[in-house]
Structure 1
Amino acid sequence: MTRDEKIRQLELTIDEFYRQKQISPDLTEAILYSLQAGGKRLRPLLLLELIEGFGLELTRAHYQAAAALEMIHTGSLIHDDLPAMDNDDYRRGRLTSHKKFGEDMAILAGDSLFLDPYGLLAKAELPSQVKVDLIAELSQAAGTFGMVAGQVLDMQGEGRDSSLEELKRIHANKTGKLLTYPFVAAALIAGAEPLIQDKLRRIGQLLGLAFQVRDDLLDVTASFEELGKTPQKDLAAAKSTYPALLGLEEAAAFFNDCLDQAAVLLTDVERSAVFSGTEIKKIIEGLRLNG
């Protein structure tokens, strides 16, 4: 199955979940507006490719797990764009949720996307312990001990200089943990041994860090058409970023080094387990700014 076919199946899974029963069609419309706005679907694709890398055939339950992850991510984008947060009018080339539906509906759509994934995961046809572990890991990645805490640290860092270690801590949580989740979740679904789980978690952490550095670099160098959102927002908000701290050239070198380390570790996993990292390596290489 190609990546495009996987994305289509993922989107069908999401649409099926929200169309099965509607109490408020207006809420469903707002939710699907953001979910159907496009994007690379990087996080769910990583999860699906990793599951296949372990030699498993993709099932409906796997797509539900991937959908749950994309729902959390999309909810975070809706809330990030709100006036009280990053205050952006565009996301993925079109009006943000609060500009389209109003702040009240955008907040509630984000709330739904933070809560619904756990019900979706709970109903997936996976072993009970695997579901419990997936739900626990997703909560850790998304909430007070992950993405939300990272967002708070990021806001508190505006207008002041942060050290490299402080910046890493911010983004390990804000961006990194939700990008680490596919690696951990796939290992749990495949029943990988703890050592392999640890190595995959580290790959996810490196990829999460690289992705944030990439985002910082693009914020400075890319256009609205390339980004699909307002460029140089971090500069306007006086946020601490990798280019601001390290300079463009050194930040780019740091970004590539993170990707290189992830690729080396992935090869190590291939040697240690029944696993193929070919598709994940393609995704890693596709993130390079010259790729």
Structure 2
Amino acid sequence: MKKIAILTSGGDSQGMNSAIRAVVRTGLAHGYEMIGVKRGYKGLMENDFITLGTKDVSDILYRGGTFLQSARSEEFKTDAGQNKAVNNLKEQGIDYLVVIGGDGSYRGAQALAKKGIKTYGLPGTIDNDIPLTDYTIGFDTTLNVVQDAISNLRDTMSSHERVSVIEVMGRNCGDIALQAGISSGVDAVLIPEYTYDITAIANQLSQGFERGKTHSIVMVAEGVGTAEEVAALIKEHSKLDTRPTVLGHIQRGGTPTAFDRLFTSRMGHKVIELIQENVTNVALGMQKNEITYHTFDDIFAAKNAVDNKLYQIFEDLV
């Protein structure tokens, strides 16, 4: 009986658990022995393995985070750390490794692939910053979390006639800020992919209040700057009562949406199909509603880019 190991690495994202469940249950249905690795690459180096059965992944479909837990490891970035992980996998008789995580996790999977381990990647990050996939695990859920937070802030900002500057995650990708901004009808979006004029934004907000608006909301992607910095500049230029809010790690929490549950279920099932077809060392994703896969080399050679059409839509709707 061949063995498949699965780990989650880096920052957690809603839907990781449903991805684990899909890989495990599909693997068991096709006769594989399923192994969980606790605490990501750190656990891989420390031989922290557990056997996973159907019951072990029950009732995790709707839970955020990752029950396998995650950790960051500087040691794994070294050749010695990677060799330790490879030796542990071989000693355990593990034939395949499924890695759920973002850019750093993919680089770890690529390194193991070059050392002879058959690896597979699932894009587990709320940032939506992995190339060659339209969505990453947890992104849709995060949009809903941010949208709800904006709705709550809008209520209190209206009561006090204030400007709210909301900082969201995304690293150097502006997808969370842009797409949540469109769906929430905010007044301005600051993202790393586009330059902005803070004076023009402040003037725009002032004109809105002069027309009778009772609140304004500005979205700031963390790759641009902090909410505190932007709020201070807007207040300086507009003299409006401006308050910063950093949503922080609340964006990674909550039960995954139906989209994320279905997305991860489809990818988890596809991983087992690829194993059976002897397709190895690839990462999965979704493009035009189809589950696709690309080599790690192709992914790192590609550039992730914000959807320019969406940015145009936002500007026309403001």
Q: TM-score, normalized by length of structure 2?
A: 0.25
Higher relative contact order (CA 8 A, sep 6+): 2
- Higher helix proportion (structure 1 or 2): 1
Q: Please say which structure displays the higher CA radius of gyration.
A: 2
- Higher strand proportion (structure 1 or 2): 2
Q: TM-score, normalized by length of structure 1?
A: 0.26
